[in-house]
């Protein structure tokens, strides 16, 4: 059977409705979509400990087990396979840092501390490096501006900026060791260095212009014990070379470098990066962000813990990761193809990288 496009009143075939873009909603929101997002997800939003704890614990256990196997393996292919599994598992475990910035401490008693002890400190990325930083990225008047620590107009930059942005992530594990083992203890002796380290090297940000404000109150107390933890652990890692030789440490660093690379690729396609610094409506922010929904399963690997629904997350930042798939199904079904909501849905990483790369080649 031949399928026909709908006809206009004059009998002409109507063109498909173009996808909604950020530029369409710079001055006004799609209030129907925002209302639907609120009304259709009222029964969702409770962080469930029975999901968070097993997921995080299993990811960490598989990750550390994979590192151990990669170190002791006698055959190269076993070491490579174990390292790949370890990298992906630890990547998933690390991504719970994103959840920690949005859920209240009372929602999951002990989870923040447990995550820091099992994942954050051992991987030299404690939760303070994201807490108080990521929330700025969600502020209505600061998203996509020079004040946003997690935004760069990558689609509007030079073509060479994209590979540089990705490749530099390979140095992250070594940089974290230097920060924890050298800069942190020296900062105790030299206050100016401590202030510099905090302002420039204590946040998971991509905006080189971002300067972090000094911690205060209870947060400052959490920073102190987490800093002490990474300091001790970093020197244990360095000291392991004396006891075990270089192979274990270098193997672990290689695995974690791949994890950092994968996260940087995910970051590259988390947004379309088309904003030039102006404040945007919530709808424009949503459409500058990216969902990569099912049926594909690859996104569940490179964008774990709900990050494949990154645009939806910008509509509902406090929604737990395990409720995002159901929220997406409801909104996609109710609002339909061609809706504003559909404008943030994309097929996969390769398509998104190609789009951003093509944009960098346009002369401006």
pLDDT at 26: 84
Q: pLDDT tens digit string along 7-60?
A: 344 444 445 567 888 888 988 999 999 999 999 999 999 999 999 999 999 999
**Residue 301 near residue 264, CB atoms below 8 Å:** no
Length of the chain: 364
Higher pLDDT, 5 or 174: 174
pTM: 0.92
Distance CA 211, CA 209 (A): 6
Find the radius of gyration of the CA atoms of the chain: 22
Run of H or E including 55: helix 49-72
pLDDT at 364: 64
Q: What is the mean pLDDT of the chain?
A: 93
Distance CA 85, CA 167 (A): 21
Measured between alpha carbons, how far apart are the two ends of the chain, in Å?
A: 47
Nearest-5° Cα angle at 290, 323 to 362: 175
- Here the tokens at position 194 are 């401590």
Angle at which helix 76-94 crosses helix 246-268, to 10 degrees, equals 50
């Amino acid at each position: 059977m031949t399928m026909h496009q709908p006809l206009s009143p004059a009998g002409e075939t109507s063109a498909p409705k173009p996808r909604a873009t950020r530029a369409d909603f710079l001055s006004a929101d799609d209030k129907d979509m925002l209302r639907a997002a609120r009304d259709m997800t009222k029964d969702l939003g409770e962080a469930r400990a029975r999901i968070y704890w097993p997921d995080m614990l299993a990811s960490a256990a598989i990750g550390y087990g994979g590192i151990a196997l990669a170190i002791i393996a006698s055959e190269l292919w076993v070491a490579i396979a174990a390292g790949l599994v370890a990298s992906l598992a630890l990547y998933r475990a690390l991504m719970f840092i994103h959840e920690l910035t949005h859920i209240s401490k009372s929602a999951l008693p002990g989870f923040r501390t447990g995550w820091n002890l099992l994942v954050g400190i051992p991987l030299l990325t404690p939760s303070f490096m994201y807490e108080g930083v990521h929330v700025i990225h969600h502020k209505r008047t600061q998203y996509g501006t020079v004040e946003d620590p997690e935004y760069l107009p990558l689609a509007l930059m030079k073509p060479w900026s994209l590979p540089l942005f990705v490749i530099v992530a390979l140095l992250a594990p070594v940089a974290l060791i230097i920060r924890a083992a050298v800069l942190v203890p020296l900062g105790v002796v030299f206050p100016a260095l401590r202030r510099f380290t905090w302002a420039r090297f204590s946040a998971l940000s991509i905006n080189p212009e971002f300067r972090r404000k000094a911690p205060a109150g209870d947060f400052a107390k959490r920073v102190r014990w987490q800093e002490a933890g990474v300091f001790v652990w970093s020197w244990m890692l360095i000291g392991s070379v004396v006891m075990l030789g270089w192979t274990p440490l270098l193997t672990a660093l290689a695995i974690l470098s791949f994890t950092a690379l994968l996260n940087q690729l995910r970051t590259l396609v988390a947004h379309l990066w088309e904003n030039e610094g102006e404040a945007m409506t919530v709808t424009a922010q949503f459409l500058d962000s990216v969902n990569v929904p099912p049926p594909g399963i690859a996104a569940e690997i490179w964008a774990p813990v709900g990050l494949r629904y990154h645009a939806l997350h910008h509509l509902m930042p406090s929604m737990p990761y395990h409720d995002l798939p159901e929220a997406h199904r409801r909104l996609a079904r109710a609002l339909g193809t061609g809706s504003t909501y559909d404008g943030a849905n994309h097929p996969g990483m390769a398509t998104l990288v190609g789009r951003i790369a093509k944009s960098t080649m346009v002369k401006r």
